Amino acid sequence: MTPELITRLPRLEALFDTHVERFGKDLTPYRNHVYRLVNLVAAQRPLEADAQDKLAIAGFFHDAGIWLAGTFDYLGPSARLAEHYLEEQGLQHWQDEIGEMIDNHHKISRYPHSDDDANRPGLVEAFRRADWVDVSLGMLRFGIPAARVRLIKRAFPNAGFHRLLLKLGGQQLLTQPWRPLPMLRR
């Protein structure tokens, strides 16, 4: 049985509400990207309540350094923002896993410390795969049915997210050509 789409996570909504001004016109494209990731992870493995909360936090912060730290060199700043949030929320025991989700979401090869079993990828690996599925516009699917990817994309439209990535990446290349893009460092 195919799980229902996850359309609202209270923790994720609270994070976006807290930072709405910082995202400006990019709020909808980024919010939809995060919900696509959450649902792409759910397409790979069942999600208990803790896993949904972890995904809400990692999903929100994984690229948030672009807006909240003002840099396209965002992996480190994004991880630090998530760590600070987890400390504020008394969730320090999640720091390692969420930090790994953020630090490794651009990794090209399989996450080496995965807690996968034969039919269920660990959360870090599932998150990495989900980001690749989304960034590749579904050309990479890691076994997720194409119909499920289309359903998720219809529910959470791109809204210019990939165009935004191209624009930000182009600006980085023009202003700092000696610095590799974050997705090319993993």
Judged against a pLDDT cut of 80, whether residue 48 lies above it is answered with yes
How confident is residue 169, by pLDDT bands cut at 50, 70 and 90? low
Residue 184: per-residue pLDDT: 47
How far lies 183's CA from each of 22, 30, 102, 131, 156, in Å?
A: 23, 17, 12, 11, 23
Q: Compute the average pLDDT of residues 140-150.
A: 96
For 59-117, the pLDDT digits (tens) are 999 999 989 998 877 889 999 999 999 999 999 999 999 999 999 988 887 777 766 66
Question: Percent of the chain having pLDDT more than 70?
Answer: 85
The crossing angle, in degrees rounded to 10, of helices 95-103 and 49-61 is: 50
Q: Which stretch of 21-25, 139-143, 160-164 has the lowest confidence by average pLDDT?
A: 160-164
Residue 160: per-residue pLDDT: 85
Residue 185: per-residue pLDDT: 44
d(CA 67, CA 21): 10
- Tell me the pLDDT of the chain averaged across its residues: 88
Judged against a pLDDT cut of 80, whether residue 156 lies above it is answered with yes
d(CA 31, CA 27): 6
Residue 170 CB-half CA count within 13 A = 6
The full set of domain ranges for the chain reads: 10-184
